Amino acid sequence: MTALSVNIDHVATVRQARLVGYPDPVEAARLAEEAGAFGITVHLRQDRRHIQDHDVVELRRVVSGRLNLEIASDEPMLAFAERVGPEQVTLVPERPDEVTTEGGLDLVGRGDQVRAAARRLVAAGIRVSVFVDPDLSQIAALDDQDDVTGFELNTDAYTRASGAGATAEFEKIQAAAESGLAAGREAYAGHGLTVANVGLVAALPGVSELNIGHSIVSRAVLIGMRAAVEEMLEAMEDG
């Protein structure tokens, strides 16, 4: 079965809304793992709008599965990752005025920057993934990224489409996954996935992990973190 990495960013979003000590993202991570999550994902943004440095440090200490740290490939973020040493870093694009990550990395236009960042992280003992759109030109550009182990396909366009449009977007994801897997990379997927649309993506051959956050945290507000994670895992298995 495809593994689930739970992104707990928006637990921290609720906490930061009042600048208090709760809800605790670390406790959310513990509950998610108890419910069957393979790992935990957090995005340490440059503006620190949700996850904070100390959250990542504590998560590194207590997460029993794989801690996947999403960061931009700039100097302060790379230096922080080297110090903390998560199992995996996923390099993502980031703009200060975006509500959430709006697209994948441009490996075609910024390949040199990604290559240098990946080399540093691998030297520190950290495996590297990149967040990319399901565009075959971007997947082909992975051929020049020797230190990148895996790629996470951006499923946002698929989750926003309907009918024939959703079918077309899903076919792009499928083709991109097949291309990257054939080149020997590990394939992941995520962004905008819910229990209603996760099934087809979870069933894609070779896609080993889904990174899902907002929909799980939103559901957890109503039914609790354990139940929300179990609900998502069930939807993935049904797919």
Q: Has 191 been annotated as catalytic? A: yes
For residue 201, what are its two tokens?
Answer: 């993506």
Q: Which of 10, 43, 50, 169 is catalytic?
A: 43
**189 contacts 151 by C-beta, under 8 angstroms:** no
Measuring CA to CA, how many Å separate 128 from each of 34, 119, 146, 230? 26, 9, 10, 28
Q: Which of 70, 94, 152, 209 is catalytic?
A: 70
List phi, psi (to 5°) of 112. -65, -40
Measuring CA to CA, how many Å separate 219 from each of 16, 58, 194, 231? 19, 24, 10, 9
Q: At what angle do helices 9-18 and 214-223 cross, to 10 degrees?
A: 60
The Cα–Cα gap between 169 and 134 comes to 9
For residue 104, what are its two tokens?
Answer: 């994948």
Q: Which of 10, 169, 191, 209 is catalytic?
A: 191
The Cα–Cα gap between 201 and 46 comes to 30
Indicate the helix (H) or strand (E) that contains 94.
Answer: none
- Give which of 27, 4, 23 is closest to 13, Cα–Cα: 23
Q: Has 171 been annotated as catalytic? A: no
DSSP secondary structure letter of residue 36: T
Q: Has 43 been annotated as catalytic? A: yes
Task: Tell me which residues are annotated as active site.
Answer: 43, 70, 191
